[in-house]
Amino acid sequence: MANFRSLRPAAAVLAGAALLFAGTGFAQNWPTKTVRVIVPFGTGGGTDIQARLLAESFRQSTGQTFITENRTGAGGLIGAEIVAKAPADGYTLLFISAAMAVNTTLFANSLKTSLKFDTRKDLVPVSWLSSTPLVLCTHPSVPAKSVKDLIALAKQNAGKLNFGVNSSGTTSHLAAEMMKQRAGFDAVTIAFKGGGPAIVALMTGDIDLLFATGPVAAQNLPIGKIRCLAVTTAKKSSAFPDLPTINTFVPGLEADNWYAMFFPKGTSQDIVNKMNGVIKQALQNEKVATFYKREGLDTVASSPQELSEMFEREVKKYAEVITKAKIKIQ
C-alpha cells in the first residue's frame, strides 16, 4: 500500500504532462474544421469588406474554411456576445472595430439595456490588424464644400440637417456627437445597421452627413454621389491626400476606426499565438496589402498584449467623451 501511495504524485505529474502535450498537439493541428468569423455589422461596411478578404487568405494558409457571419445589433455587441459565449476551442473568432471600446461604456451606462458579458474579461485579444480614418462626407446637394462652410450651414439651420451614423455606439456615432458638441451645432442623428446601409442612405440623399470609415469612403468617392470634406485622424491620410484633418477646424476632434480580432475567454494561448501568426501572414499577402493601401487602411499586426493595452486606452478615451456628452443608448 505504501508503494502504491508513493506512485500517486508521479502518476499525477505524468497525467498533467500528457494533458499539456495533448493541448499543445491540438493547437499545432488547429484548425481541423471550419472557423466562424463573426462580423457584428452589416454587409458592405468596412469590417465586412476586410473580413471576407482576410477569410480567403486564412483559408489559403491553413487549408481550412473561414466563413464570415454577419450578426448585427447593439453597435456590434450582439456579435461580440456570441463570440464571448462560444466554446473556447478556436473555432469562433470575432472581427470587430473600435465600436467595442465605445460600447463598453455606452451600454454599461444604459438604463434600458446592459452588457451581458465583460469586454475585457470574456474575450481574448488576438491582434490589432489595421487602422483607418473616419471621413466626414456629405451628399452633393448639401451646399458646403469645406468643414468651415458645413459648420456655418449647420448653425444657420439648427436641427435641420440629418447626421447619419453607421450604428449606435460606433466611432461613426461618437465622432458625430463630438463634432456637434465641439463645433456647437445641432443635427438629427439617424442610426443605421452598419456602414453599408449608411453610405447607401447618404448617396440617395436620405441623410445629409456621415462619418464613413476609410474603406467605405474610398470605395464610393469615385462614383461622384458623395463629397468628402476631412479625415478624423491627427495627421493627414495618405489615402485621402487632398483632405484636411478635421481637428484643423474642430480642435480636439480625433478618432480613427481600428479593427481587431478576439477569441472567447479560455482559448488556448497556443491557438491565439498561431492565429496571430496567420493574421500577420495574411497582412503580407500581396492581394490583401494592395487592397489595404487602396482603401486607406494602415496595417498594424500587433501582438495580443499590444491589442490588450490599446483597447484599454480606447475604452478610457471614449468613456470621457460619453460621460461629458451624457450620451445614452436610444
d(CA 157, CA 222): 29
Distance, in Å, from the CA atom of 190 to the CA atom of 33, rounded to the nearest integer, reads: 40
Answer whether 297's CB lies under 8 Å from 237's CB. Answer: no
Look at residues 199, 218, 248 and tell me which one is the last residue of a structural domain. Answer: 248
Do the domain assignments include residue 77?
A: yes
Residues 233 and 307 in one domain: no
Who's near 29: CB < 8 A, 6+ residues apart?
none
- Higher pLDDT, residue 116 or 263: 263
Q: How many domains does the chain have?
A: 2
Kindly tell me if the per-residue pLDDT of 26 is higher than 70: no
Do residues 145 and 219 both lie within one domain?
yes
Report residue 284 as a C-alpha cell. Answer: 503580407
How many residues belong to the chain?
330
pLDDT of residue 4: 43
What's the whole-model pTM score? 0.75
Q: Give yes or no: residues 164 and 238 share one domain.
A: yes
Query: Which of 204, 221, 248 is the C-terminal boundary of a domain?
Result: 248
- Convert the pLDDT of each residue in 123-173 to its tens digit: 999 999 998 889 999 999 999 999 999 999 999 999 999 999 988 778 898
How high is the pLDDT of residue 27? Answer: 67
Does position 330 have pLDDT exceeding 70, yes or no?
no
CB-CB contact of 67 with 55 (8 Å): yes
CA–CA gap between residue 252 and residue 159 (Å, rounded): 23
How is residue 318 written as a grid cell?
471614449
Q: How confident is the model at residue 2 (pLDDT cuts 50, 70, 90)?
A: very low
Most trustworthy range by pLDDT among 14-18, 291-295, 308-312? 308-312
Rg (CA), the chain: 22
| Beta partners for residue 209, in sequence order | 138, 163
pLDDT digits (tens, 9 = 90+) for 185-198: 999 999 998 888 99
| Residue 75 CA to its chain's centroid (Å) | 10
Query: H-helix or E-strand containing 70?
Result: strand 66-70
Task: Tell whether 4 is covered by a domain.
Answer: no
Average pLDDT over every residue of 278-285: 96
| pLDDT tens for each residue of 240-271 | 889 999 999 999 898 888 999 999 999 999 99
Asked whether residue 168 is assigned to any structural domain, the reply reads yes
Q: Could you give the CA distance from residue 36 to residue 133 in angstroms, rounded to a whole number?
A: 27
Alpha carbon separation from 104 to 9, 36, 85, 213, 285 (Å, rounded): 45, 23, 17, 20, 33
Both 261 and 119 in one domain: the answer is yes
**Residue 99 banded pLDDT, cuts 50, 70, 90:** confident
Last residue of some domain: 193, 223, 248?
A: 248
> At 107, is the pLDDT very low, low, confident or very high (cuts 50, 70, 90)?
confident
Asked if the structure places residue 1 within a domain, the reply is no
Provide the residue range defining the domain that includes 288.
11-131+257-325
Whether 141 and 64 map to the same domain: the answer is no
| Average pLDDT of span 271-278 | 98
Whether residue 262 contacts residue 125, with contact meaning beta carbons closer than 8 Å, is answered with: yes
Share the mean pLDDT of the chain: 88
According to DSSP, residue 266 is labeled: T
pLDDT, tens digit (0-9, with 9 covering 90-100), for 27-42: 679 999 999 999 999 8
